[in-house]
Amino acid sequence: MTPATLLDPLASARAEFAVEPGYLAACTVGPPPASTRRAVIADVESAAAGRMNIPEYCAVVERSRDLYARLVSVHPGRVAIGSQASVFAGLVAASLPDGAEVLCVDGDFSSIMLPFVHAGRGIRVRSVPLAQLAEAITEGTDLVAFSLVQSATGEVADAAAIVAGAARHGARTFCDTTQAVGWLAVSASAFDATVCHAYKWLCAPRGVAFLTVAEGWELRPIHAGWYAGDDPWAACYGGGATLAEDARRYDVSPAWQAFVGAEPALELFTALDPAAVYEHTTRLAGQFRAELGIPEPTRPSAIVTWDDPDGADLGRLTAAGIVASGRAGRARVAFHVFNDERDVELAVAALRR
């Protein structure tokens, strides 16, 4: 590592990634930093030798909880750990009153919609375009469930307007921050509940998810197991265990090995200045849009999408060795801390061929 790299936190973070030029798919899956790779390999080697340190696994989970809490500016006691966003969305759905109305975004990620669609008990789901979400909240709306950054389009929600609209009508908010945390500063306390799967922009192994819950909203702990106990090791048997008093009562038994890899990735992003990451990622995305004449979105985004109904543009990118993705009839690229101007140039050249 050069002296210049040591003085530049973003350059230092970029040096942690061995990803090849042209990887523009953080919105699909984030590549692991070197620290995650080392931690996972060391854990596998220890496990292969029969040296599984279970107390240390639990300590890793708690350190990961603390790191994530710092990333989204909430107390660790408001953070629950799990493995999938849809499981936490199902927990929120199960906690709504019978006949509740849930307002969603047209075409939002299914893991944030389907748990409400199939919740039963007369729960009704209504969806509108993202731009109309805040004004579509009514006195009959119980919950507004939406992604802060839309997976299919990269659009960034007007969170302040949505939260204000919900407050005016007495509705709660449930925000999926999976496509945001890692490049966009998020204050989870602005919402009644948030969920984030860390395998995208936080570059953690798949199987690490976080739920935040505001004080005063008691969810139904329908997934409660031993790890949701006030003392997990005293909650292993029988049905009389006392659940944790804070958000840990919503914990799902952790995938230990995934958290071993998540902790160093979370450390990396916690150490970065969110404003610097935002400037870097949105600047690269803006350069890419400018080169190809793609209109700038209302709110800057690190994800760029454009119409590609036949997949021709995605095919050009793939043929040139660019790792991109296609969603809902659109080509999609994303710019993260490990990307630079070379990636913009490679992708633009591939699309102009």
Residue-wise pLDDT for 162-214, tens only, equals 999 999 999 999 999 999 999 999 999 999 999 999 999 999 999 999 999 99
Same domain for 320 and 263: no
Is 39 part of a structural domain of the chain? no
- Give CA–CA dist 17/8, Å, rounded: 15
Residue 333 belongs to domain with CATH number: 3.90.1150.10
Same domain for 58 and 11: no
Q: Which letter, b or e, does each residue of 67-96 get, where b requires 16 or more Cβ atoms within 10 Å of its Cβ?
A: bbbebbebebebbbbbbbbbbbbbbbbbbb
Contact by Cβ (8 Å): 192, 217: yes
Res 243: pLDDT? 95
Is 48 part of a structural domain of the chain? no
Task: Using the predicted structure, report yes or no on whether residue 3 has a pLDDT greater than 80.
Answer: no
Res 1: pLDDT? 52
Q: Which letter, b or e, does each residue of 322-350 get, where b requires 16 or more Cβ atoms within 10 Å of its Cβ?
A: bbbbbbeebbbbbbbbbbeeebbebbeeb
The number of residues in the chain equals 353
Place of tokens 């302040």: 160
Same domain for 138 and 153: yes
For residue range 223-278, what is the model confidence (pLDDT) as tens digits? 999 999 999 988 999 998 999 999 999 999 999 999 999 999 999 999 999 999 99
Decide which of 212, 245, 270 is a domain's last residue.
270
Decide which of 236, 270, 304 is a domain's last residue.
270
Question: Model's pTM, two decimal places?
Answer: 0.94
Please give the mean pLDDT across all residues of the chain. 95
Same domain for 204 and 318: no
- CA–CA distance from 316 to each of 115, 237, 288, 329, 345 (Å)? 36, 56, 16, 15, 14
Tokens of 53: 């340190």
Res 8: pLDDT? 84
Is 46 part of a structural domain of the chain? no
Q: How confident is the model at residue 2 (pLDDT cuts 50, 70, 90)?
A: low
For residue range 34-73, what is the model confidence (pLDDT) as tens digits? 999 999 999 999 999 999 999 999 999 999 999 999 999 9
Task: Using the predicted structure, report yes or no on whether residue 343 has a pLDDT greater than 90.
Answer: yes
How many domains does one find in the chain? 2
Tokens of 340: 């630079």
Res 234: pLDDT? 86
For residue range 123-135, what is the model confidence (pLDDT) as tens digits? 999 999 999 999 9
For residue range 65-95, what is the model confidence (pLDDT) as tens digits? 999 999 999 999 999 999 999 999 999 999 9
Contact by Cβ (8 Å): 86, 252: no
Residue 121 belongs to domain with CATH number: 3.40.640.10
The C-alpha angle 317, 323, 7, rounded to 5 degrees, equals 120
Is 285 part of a structural domain of the chain? yes
